[in-house]
Structure 1
Amino acid sequence: MKILIISSVWVEPNSSAAGSRMLQLIRFFQSEKYDVEYASIASESEFSFDLSSLGITQHSVQINDSGFDELLLQINPDIVLFDRFMVEEQFGWRVSNVLPNAIKILDTEDLHCLRQARQEAVKKNSESLNFNSDVAKREIAAIFRCDLSLMVSDHEMNLLQTFFQVPKSILFYLPIWVDALTPEKPDFQSKIDFVFIGNFYHEPNWDSVLVLKNEIWPKLKDLLPNAKLNIYGAYPTQKVHQLHNPKERFFIHGRAESAEEVIRSARILLAPIRFGAGIKGKLLEGMEYGTPSVTTSIGAEAMHDNLPWNGFITIDYSDFITKAVELYSNQEVLEQAVENGHKIIEHKFLFSIYKSKFLDILNHLQTNLETHRNANFIGQMLQFHTMRSTEFMSRWIEEKNK
């Protein structure tokens, strides 16, 4: 079996949870003896993972370019996986046109329209979410057009089925996972300071750092005069670096050489996330590496079911500060939080929970693709119109650019 992955970025597992997620998928397909090829419209950066080291053939492709059709015929994949819905918009119709029997899978990473709606609500200081946006219409259409969409959040699985009326048969819950867990009792004395980590291209991370700087750390630092707050994240801009203030023990470090090392060495991970979607890779890593967290209901969403959190989920800034002090100062509370994190991973994030189900649905698609598609009339309808609108627009642009 052969799979082609198409993305707008190259894989950067040390830059974001999305990069780690994609590398997990690649290694899974390879472990199941799939021949994996990878195509991207982006230029490689110095931080891109060397996929060739895994024996993966890499391709640079362009949007609005019929040369991609020739590449598809050359590769002739059984499965095409789109990394985020925007990529499906650009290339999905070409796949359907050139290889109509190829299985189309969308890895959503997170539900973009949910993240955008929450961001707008925060800016407007509103509790209502607007799902009538152009992004929502585009994203849900892409989900309907694909044979299967991979969701990292069961909250989003429920939202898609109840609000957007997406059939469960074209959705599969597959969170960022942990291959194996080796629980360790943390050394309370050796773990020091607070940490935040997150790619600064991702708006919720920048917002969280501003909340830490302006609302939380000014009071928290006075209550814990020996503690520091270390901020890590890929692609920091000048406005991020300007927040660096050693006198206030607020340190901007930029990209972490090893996310595991900086999270594992910290006593507490702070994540005052006000908007976002999906699940938070930093919080999962905190559970895995024995570092409890203080976060919000948005941060912890879809990550623990009814199990006690790996630290505290807070309701406002004052509560956040109080809980951060308690967790930082009380060894017994911290050790219990670490144990909670291990239980959450064992319950919800071990890959062994999902592997056989994922293989089963892939096998179902391979043997029952026509029946599967016929049960999704809305998807067929959207595919019909996309082939006649997006296709002709793309061909017009291609001609115009000649």
Structure 2
Amino acid sequence: MPGPDTDFKSLLVIGHQWPEPGATGAGVRMLWLLNGFLQKGFHIVFASATGSGDYRVDLGKLGIKEVEIQINDSSFDVFLQKNEFSHVLFDRFLTEEQFGWRVRDNLPGAQVLLDTEDLHSLRHSREDAVRRGGEWSVADWVADPMFYREVASMFRSDLTLIISKREMELLLSEVPYLQEKLIYLPFGMHQSALIPGVNFQGRSNFVFIGNGKHAPNRDAIAHLKTEIWPRIRQKLPEAVLQVYGAYLPTQTLQMDAPAEGFEVKGWAPELQPVLSNARLLLAPLRFGAGIKGKILKASVFGLPVMGTTIGFEGIIDEPRDLPFVADCVEHFAQKAVTLYTNAVEWERALAIQRQATEVHLNTSFDILSSALDTYAKRRDVLPKETRVIQNLLQNEAFGRLRYLSRWIEAKEKGKN
């Protein structure tokens, strides 16, 4: 079977969910990756075990074959045996855990890639800190059980794509043996050209955008409703905040209160009209990881963002002292009012943010393409310690996952 060092280019992408670029930042990232592989001449098959979402993109129109697969089912082995793939891409560590051992058993020559999208363990540990009302620390992250699962997945994979420089730094500070396995590949968006947009005077209203399935977004909306918006509204009694997002839960939809200037709109088929006419995007994210697609989208359409340190992480290195960043509720509201009412500060914030987001809006797929082309050299210089950990995790951890999966399959079939 062809391996990664031949001219044969066939990619299997195993997704935790089908891409929804019109609804999620992860969908935007995945579509960018898929188009990059297509431009490099790859034949692509996208497979997922989840049902179709409401905003699923038609990959068939791009020439990508779509295949539905099952977790804990040997039918996936049969599928792999009938097809040849030089590369396999997992869209997060969870899919690598579920299907990675089957890929290695049936496609031993394939190069295995992992796109973290964001560090799930980092986001999870920060959410726990918020829930318990404490300060987050790196020690919390390392103590989170998800940390070890995610890092193990990186060691088992040949290359791991990291979307944020800050996350790259955090990983290497705690697990330096991952050095040769990590590739920094910024967000990537198709609409990289900045749109001038309407000026300060021609815009009105505050806006929030975010997928309701994402816990940081649900928390941010609730935080806006109860803590931040009342403070802004007190200073600007005629102001309106419009909340947009796919999959907003009932609890969020019930927050709709037009009399208070808090309007929950739901999904917007096109974000350009929303972001081109609003005056300020609010992003009071209290936890999260990766790069926030809402900030990149706002920058494209000439809309500055009032956010938190977490929100701008990976985009601006030291954002704490900037006029558009605050973690304290009172300061957040005060700065938001200033940006909304002061044209000079508004323009200044937009200029800084557009410069900061440029690396993600103009990312070249050649970064990844080059890493794939030089994979053999990277593989040959892996430190001894990295090889030992990789082999250990592929054999021991995969053995556990393999037998657990087969046990579940046998149990399920025994019921029928």
The 2-side partners of 1:261 and 1:142 are apart by 40
**AA of the residue aligned to 2:351:** E
The answer to whether structure 1 residue 194 and structure 2 residue 202 are counterparts is: no
User: CA offsets, 1:124-159, max 9 Å, x none?
Assistant: 121244222221121111111101111111111111
The answer to whether structure 1 residue 355 and structure 2 residue 365 are counterparts is: yes
Cα distance change of structure 1 residues 177 and 64 upon mapping to structure 2, 3 Å threshold: same
Cα distance change of structure 1 residues 230 and 367 upon mapping to structure 2, 3 Å threshold: same
Shift of 1:363: 0.5
**Superposition TM-score, scaled by structure 2 size:** 0.91
**AA of the residue aligned to 1:200:** G
Shift of 1:307: 8.2
Shift of 1:178: 3.9
Aligned residue runs from structure 1 range 82-101, under 5 A: 82-101=90-109
The 2-side partners of 1:309 and 1:302 are apart by 16
Shift of 1:305: 3.1
The 1-side partners of 2:75 and 2:189 are apart by 38
Count of paired positions: 400
Q: 1:277 aligns with which of 289, 293, 297?
A: 289
The 2-side partners of 1:365 and 1:86 are apart by 24
The answer to whether structure 1 residue 157 and structure 2 residue 168 are counterparts is: yes
Q: 1:304 aligns with which of 316, 325, 328?
A: 316
Aligned residue runs from structure 1 range 2-401, under 5 A: 2-129=10-137, 130=140, 131-179=142-190, 180-182=192-194, 184=196, 186-305=198-317, 312-346=324-358, 348-352=359-363, 354-365=364-375, 369=379, 376-401=387-412
Unaligned runs of 5+ in 1: none
Cα distance change of structure 1 residues 318 and 309 upon mapping to structure 2, 3 Å threshold: closer
Cα distance change of structure 1 residues 308 and 396 upon mapping to structure 2, 3 Å threshold: closer
The 1-side partners of 2:136 and 2:201 are apart by 44
Cα distance change of structure 1 residues 205 and 173 upon mapping to structure 2, 3 Å threshold: same
User: CA offsets, 1:137-188, max 9 Å, x none?
Assistant: 2111111110111111111111111113342110111121245323526422
Structure 2 residue matching 1:312: 3-state secondary structure:
coil
Unaligned runs of 5+ in 2: 1-8
**AA of the residue aligned to 2:37:** F
Q: Which shifted more, 304-313 or 252-261?
A: 304-313
Percent sequence identity over aligned pairs: 38
Shift of 1:223: 1.1
C-alpha contact (below 8 Å) 1:273/1:296 kept by paired residues: yes
C-alpha contact (below 8 Å) 2:320/2:326 kept by paired residues: no
Shift of 1:371: 5.9
User: CA offsets, 1:268-304, max 9 Å, x none?
Assistant: 0001111111111101111111100111111111112
C-alpha contact (below 8 Å) 1:310/1:338 kept by paired residues: no
User: CA offsets, 1:69-103, max 9 Å, x none?
Assistant: 12112221111000111100010011111111101
**Superposition TM-score, scaled by structure 1 size:** 0.94
Q: Which shifted more, 300-309 or 61-70?
A: 300-309
What is aligned with 2:3?
Answer: none
Q: Which shifted more, 179-188 or 59-68?
A: 179-188
**AA of the residue aligned to 2:366:** S
